[in-house]
Amino acid sequence: HLYSPLETLVALRRLLARGSRLVFSVPNLQSYDRHLFGSLWIGWDAPRHLCLFEDSVLVRLMSRVGFEIVERRCALGGPGAFLLSLHTWAEARWGRQTRHSRVMHLIDRLVPFLIWPYKTFSYHQLRGPVITYVAQPLGG
């Protein structure tokens, strides 16, 4: 959601005291959902998501401005993100009326239970739809 992520990170680095932490979440380009849904993945979410970064690029960017990543975790997104991507896929395949169909309402109720193993595995592998980073100033 940032027009100038580099400038924002530089400003944040100046503001944070030694021992502070910066916590932020971004769509996970390495997520299994992204690979499953491709161009219909909800994480693209243009125009709100202006910049998306591969993990290695984000690590280099953070280092460049004086941060080190100390933790990564997938804990956000869940079945809601999966369902949004599924709805986008169904609409692209069968049209907008799909969103209001009885089948989609049934799927909306079942998906959270059906994808629990997938979600658990993907989160454990850091391949969930959203990844949260914890960073600290270098030397902090």
- How much is the pLDDT for 89? 85
Q: Once rounded to an integer, what is the mean pLDDT over residues 41-67? A: 89
Percentage of the chain exceeding pLDDT 70:
95
* Beta carbons within 10 angstroms of residue 50's beta carbon: 12
The yes-or-no verdict on residue 99 having pLDDT over 80 is no
Residue 110 has pLDDT above 90, yes or no: no
Three-state DSSP class for 44?
helix
- The token pair that represents 78 in the structure block: 């869940």
The pTM score is 0.83
Q: Which two tokens stand for residue 31?
A: 């997520």
Residue 98 pLDDT:
64
Beta bridge partners of 132: 25, 73
Pairwise CA distance, residues 86 & 70, whole Å: 33
Could you report the per-residue pLDDT of 61-95, keeping only the tens digit for each?
999 999 999 999 998 767 788 888 888 888 887 77
Asked if residue 43 lies in contact with residue 59, where contact means CB atoms within 8 angstroms, the answer is no
Instruction: Name the average pLDDT for the chain.
Output: 86
pLDDT at 7 over 70: yes
Q: What is the pLDDT of residue 100?
A: 62
Q: List, as one string, the DSSP characters of 109-139.
A: HHHHHHTHHHHHHHHHTT-SSEEEEEEEETT
